[in-house]
Amino acid sequence: MDANEMESQQHRAAGDDDFGRVNTGLNKYTIFCALLASTNSILLGYDIGVMSGAVLFIKENLKISSVQVEILVGSLNVLSLMGSLASGKTSDYIGRRYTIVLAAATFLVGALLMGFAPSFSLLLAGRIVAGIGVGYSLMISPVYTAEISPAMKRGFLTSLPEVFIVSGILLGYIVNYSLSGLPQNINWRLMLGFAAIPAIAIGFGVTAMPESPRWLVMKGRTDEAKGVLVKVSDSCQEAEFRLNEITKAAALDIGQSASSSNNEWRGQWVWRELLLSPSRPVRRILVAAIGINFFMQASGNDAVIYYCPEVFKDAGIHNKRQLFGVNVIIGVAKASFVLISALYLDKFGRRPLLLLGSIGMAVSLAVLGMGSKFLEHSESKPLWAIIVCIVAVCADVSFFSIGLGPITWVYSSEIFPLRLRAQGTGLAISVNRLVSGVLSMTFLTISNKITFGGMFLVLSGVMVVGTLFFYFFLPETKSKSLEEVWALFEDKDKNDDGEMGGVQMREI
């Protein structure tokens, strides 16, 4: 590591930006772009929240079985992995900005199909289309935000997609509660169809955003990239510094000068490098990115939210408005804690909040499992036990919102090198969606076999394993530029103790 790089890192550690000035705030245009890009994630959150209540009316109105309910709920997550896998190549080809527009447009079609579906088969078709749009949005929102953000504030800005996912969940709960009094052949259609409104707004709003400067550099459009960096930086000097850093990284990444003919670069050969012949640093990155995405969904958070009304019906709450009221309480808890995490992510770092969240989830799920077990064997269903379960669910989703919820998107989008970022992040998020879909489609079936209490105890054990994984395999990335994060996974940057970013990396 040369003297200039050491000095730059010392400035960052002291809370200074790249030029030794105290970092006091965020560029307003950067915030505007990050908010617009992250708004795309509200589509998934709204679907998760609204479907948890709508499915109760769909089941009664369309007379479908519990297995069909699982297929309906889980299909969006399984099919979203197709969108995640395709989104990396798409965004390398047409750009980050137009991929966000494509995601919103695809979800819009799916929402309209679901709202007007006369049968289960067409409702399922709408879920499939919407799922592809969700897959696109989950990859592209954090990647775009990471690529325009300064290092000192990247954690906060890149966690905004989770803030909007949680906001969407809360919005879905509120819509459930508001429309639950309508006839059941109308209310669930309005619940699902209303998703078209934010999709339309997002599609038009994103057209006001600039393209990612890093994507422009990779395409050889350096002058355009500089114009964007001038807007998202505090000074021309900072913009020039960031452009030089990005240009050097791009030249190394694709093996040629960023000012040459790399406008022909369209993400080719990336899959071969990721899956067929990855270097040791790339393998470490893949393990970290896929691992955190796996445990995000293996924690059961999506399934708990989707089936929360079923869980509390089993606990003794049968009034639908009361069930939706509990959902609103859970949504408020999630929204509150994800905001706290986003605000302090760049101060405390990724690892401390991630470990706090995963340990808290393990304890909360254990309490929920024991509380559910008690209610299963109690005929009177005492109120105190129901309250304990409600508090445990709120604690579980709150700890998720502190750790795995926002940090998964942040970490996945910042650890891949530039040439691998879009498609590597897409691969990791496709694992996320696959695990979410499988768990959502089997949650009720498994719970019927081992009870809800048994299921929650299993999920608690999964989070214990996840905590150990995070401790040993995820180095800290706080305050480092995207171009510096790569060094954390390379052998040459180990210190004398074999430490990398505050965590000893396993040999992979």
* pLDDT tens-digit readout, 313-347: 766 666 667 777 777 787 788 888 888 888 888 88
Mean pLDDT over 292-307 rounds to 86
Amino acid 268: pLDDT: 58
Examine residue 113 and state whether it is found in any structural domain, yes or no.
Answer: yes
Amino acid 263: pLDDT: 46
Examine residue 8 and state whether it is found in any structural domain, yes or no.
Answer: no
Examine residue 368 and state whether it is found in any structural domain, yes or no.
Answer: yes
Question: Would you say residue 260 has pLDDT above 60?
Answer: no
Q: Which residue has the higher pLDDT, 440 or 87?
A: 87
Examine residue 417 and state whether it is found in any structural domain, yes or no.
Answer: yes
436 is in which domain, residue-wise? Answer: 20-504
Torsion of CA 331, 336, 342, 346, to 10 degrees: -150
Q: Which of the four pLDDT bands, split at 50, 70 and 90, describes residue 468? A: very high
Question: Would you say residue 285 has pLDDT above 90?
Answer: yes
233-241 long-range contacts (CB < 8 A, ≥24 apart) are: 233/27, 233/150, 234/17, 234/27, 235/19, 237/19, 238/17, 238/18, 238/19, 241/18, 241/19
By the 8 A CB rule, do 271 and 423 touch? yes
Let me know how many helices (H) and strands (E) the chain has, helices first.
23, 2
Q: Which of the four pLDDT bands, split at 50, 70 and 90, describes residue 265? A: low
Question: Would you say residue 505 has pLDDT above 70?
Answer: no
Q: Tell me the two tokens of residue 13.
A: 């550690």
Question: Would you say residue 308 has pLDDT above 60?
Answer: yes
Nearest to 410 by CA among 267, 292, 491, 318: 292
Residue 392: partners with Cβ closer than 8 Å, 6 or more residues away: 364, 365, 367, 368, 371
The CATH number assigned to the domain holding 173 equals 1.20.1250.20
Q: Tell me the two tokens of residue 335.
A: 């929204």
Question: Would you say residue 12 has pLDDT above 80?
Answer: no
Which H or E run includes 504?
Answer: strand 503-504
Q: Which residue has the higher pLDDT, 413 or 328?
A: 413
Structurally, the chain folds into a number of domains equal to 1
Which residues partner with 500 through β-bridges? 503
Which H or E run includes 499?
Answer: strand 499-500
Q: Tell me the two tokens of residue 470.
A: 């995070």
Backbone angles phi, psi at 475, to 5 degrees: -75, 160
- Cβ-based burial of 172 (10 A; exposed 0-12, middle 13-18, buried ≥19): buried
Q: What percent of the chain lies above the pLDDT cut of 90? A: 16
Examine residue 10 and state whether it is found in any structural domain, yes or no.
Answer: no
Please state whether 128 falls in left (phi above 0), alpha (psi between -120 and 50) or beta.
Answer: alpha
Q: How many residues does the chain have?
A: 508
Spatial distance between the Cα atoms of 412 and 294, rounded to a whole number of angstroms: 12
Q: Which of the four pLDDT bands, split at 50, 70 and 90, describes residue 255? A: low
Secondary structure (3-state) at 339: helix
Spatial distance between the Cα atoms of 398 and 392, rounded to a whole number of angstroms: 10
Examine residue 63 and state whether it is found in any structural domain, yes or no.
Answer: yes
Nearest to 198 by CA among 331, 42, 83, 45: 42
Which residues partner with 16 through β-bridges? 22
Instruction: Please give the DSSP secondary-structure letter assigned to residue 503.
Output: E
- Cβ-based burial of 236 (10 A; exposed 0-12, middle 13-18, buried ≥19): exposed
* pLDDT tens-digit readout, 152-179: 888 888 888 888 888 888 888 888 888 8
* pLDDT tens-digit readout, 99-122: 988 988 898 899 899 888 888 899
Please state whether 267 falls in left (phi above 0), alpha (psi between -120 and 50) or beta.
Answer: left
Q: Which residue has the higher pLDDT, 335 or 363?
A: 363
Q: Tell me the two tokens of residue 35.
A: 């908010």
Residue 266: partners with Cβ closer than 8 Å, 6 or more residues away: 92, 93
Examine residue 423 and state whether it is found in any structural domain, yes or no.
Answer: yes
H runs (alpha helix) in 180-266: 184-193, 196-205, 213-218, 222-232, 236-254
Question: Would you say residue 11 has pLDDT above 60?
Answer: no
Q: What is the dihedral sign for C-alpha 399, 292, 53, 158?
A: positive
Amino acid 351: pLDDT: 94
Amino acid 381: pLDDT: 74
Q: Which residue has the higher pLDDT, 357 or 276?
A: 357
The highest-confidence range among 146-155, 357-366, 425-434, by mean pLDDT, is 357-366
* pLDDT tens-digit readout, 474-484: 999 888 887 78
Examine residue 38 and state whether it is found in any structural domain, yes or no.
Answer: yes
Nearest to 412 by CA among 310, 358, 485, 309: 485
Mean pLDDT over 2-13 rounds to 44
By the 8 A CB rule, do 155 and 111 touch? no
Q: Which of the four pLDDT bands, split at 50, 70 and 90, describes residue 501? A: very low
* pLDDT tens-digit readout, 364-389: 999 999 988 888 877 777 888 888 88
Backbone angles phi, psi at 376, to 5 degrees: -65, -30
Mean pLDDT over 423-448 rounds to 86
Spatial distance between the Cα atoms of 200 and 334, rounded to a whole number of angstroms: 26
Amino acid 15: pLDDT: 39
Secondary structure (3-state) at 27: coil
Q: Tell me the two tokens of residue 467.
A: 């905590």
Asked which of 230-239, 325-334, 391-400, 476-485 is least confident by mean pLDDT, the reply is 325-334
Q: Which of the four pLDDT bands, split at 50, 70 and 90, describes residue 408? A: very high
Taking CA atoms, 275 is separated from 162, 163, 220, 271, in Å, by 28, 32, 27, 6
Nearest to 127 by CA among 112, 149, 143, 141: 112
Taking CA atoms, 165 is separated from 45, 151, 172, 360, 374, in Å, by 4, 23, 10, 21, 33
Amino acid 292: pLDDT: 96
Spatial distance between the Cα atoms of 496 and 501, rounded to a whole number of angstroms: 12
Report if pTM > 0.85. Answer: no
Q: Which of the four pLDDT bands, split at 50, 70 and 90, describes residue 62? A: confident
Q: Tell me the two tokens of residue 188.
A: 């669930």
